Structure 1
Amino acid sequence: MKLHQLINMDTLQAWDGKFAIIASHYIRVTDGVRTQDYLGDFKFGTDAIISDTLTSTIAYQNGDLYYEVTDLNIDAPTMAGYIENFDIDSALNEVL
């Protein structure tokens, strides 16, 4: 994990955003202030990621780089479930 700003992990929260980009190797979610990029290999079903791997994630806040996590090997549908359910604790357990 590479931090570009100070992060208080005790106050880190899940947030709701809109999908700005959805592609087989790249997903971007934003709420206008925060942006999260997910990189990896993704296969999609009707309404969900159905297989493959999340390899990195990059966060921005107010347009500035916030943090980067690379060299991941996380089951993409599992992580998508955590994100969809605002389960930040489980998501962090996968990443850290």
Structure 2
Amino acid sequence: MATLTVTAKGQVTLKKEVLQHLGVRPGDKIDVDLLPGGKLEVIAVERRPVAGSVESFFGSLENKENIHATLEEIDEAIKAGWAGEVGVDNDR
């Protein structure tokens, strides 16, 4: 258990071990829920990835339409694109 000190302004600084346990870094946010009996629940707010970062790329290739193509179909699409023969496939 980490013991924290309250300043004259009513502020508390979280110790390094607490921040590491929460997985938060400077600039991140935390939520605090007030529980019965004078207890608190401290939760790290999920941080949004910085634009252009590797983290922001994750999930960007999600297959929302559940489209599947064979390697041969992908190869043909690439060849058609390079040849300027790209059209709309209405069969899907």
TM category, shorter? under 0.3
The answer to which structure has the higher strand fraction is: 1
Structure with higher Rg: it is 2
Per chain length, whose mean CA-contact separation is higher, i.e. which structure has more relative contact order (CA < 8 Å, sep 6+)?
A: 1
TM-score (structure 1 length as normaliser): 0.23
